[in-house]
Amino acid sequence: MRKEILITGLGGQGIVLAGQVLGMAACIEDHLESSFTQSYGPEARGGACSAQLVISDKPIHYPYVRAADILVCMSQTGYEKYHHLLRAEGTLIVDQDMVRSWEGASGDVFPVPATRMAEELGRKMMANIVMLGFVTSVTGAVSLKGMLSSVADSVPKGTEKTNIAAFTKGYDLGQAMLKARTKKAAGNKNKEQG
């Protein structure tokens, strides 16, 4: 088992925190190996940034993403900069309010209204946590139990409850999308057979 995950967006969106939360869940709760690297421009807010994770059941010898199994884009510039790293059969997850164009994307694509969902919860800054819930749900890269624990341990004290609610909202959306896709695939299969 080896997953290469790249999360990209803008400074101030919590991209680095999202990567740290995923890595902690993989190591501490799921007992896997995990490497984490980050990059960001000189601007604190608004500049491009990314978090790269490699999660494996074996030792990790190279910590950078070469071919992403999972690419999470929370900005258009992030998508434009990194979409070429997504494997042909990989999973692309985009914040549909922040990434307007992802034509020609390969793999399995999931548009998610993460920023809008966070705004509905009253905290736009929790879009990264909503996205983590969705990523956990549709990819299974880390366990639900591990992520709930990691989110609670990583967010500012006193905000655990609202962040867990944001995570759960993203997770539930992912489950609903997977169920809808399964139902649609079954309907298409029945049409082909009929």
Compute the residue count for the chain: 194
Question: pLDDT (tens digit, 9 = 90+) per residue, 106-163?
Answer: 778 999 999 999 999 988 889 999 999 999 999 999 999 999 999 999 999 999 999 9
pLDDT, one tens digit per residue, over 68-86 is 999 999 999 999 999 999 9
According to the model, what pLDDT value does residue 123 have? 87
What's the pTM value of the predicted model, to 2 decimals? 0.90
Per-residue model confidence (pLDDT) at position 171: 97
Axis-axis angle for helices 127-139, 160-193 (nearest 10): 40
pLDDT, tens only, 36-48: 999 876 655 667 8
Report the sign of the C-alpha dihedral through residues 108, 53, 141, 168, in that order: negative
Q: Which CATH class is domain 2-189?
A: alpha beta
Decide if pLDDT at 194 tops 60: no
Element (H, E) at 100: none
The pLDDT assigned to 162 comes to 93
Give the CA distances from residue 62 to residues 4, 29, 46, 90, in Å, rounded to whole numbers and listed in that order: 11, 22, 29, 20
In the numeric block, the tokens 């995990």 are attached to 34
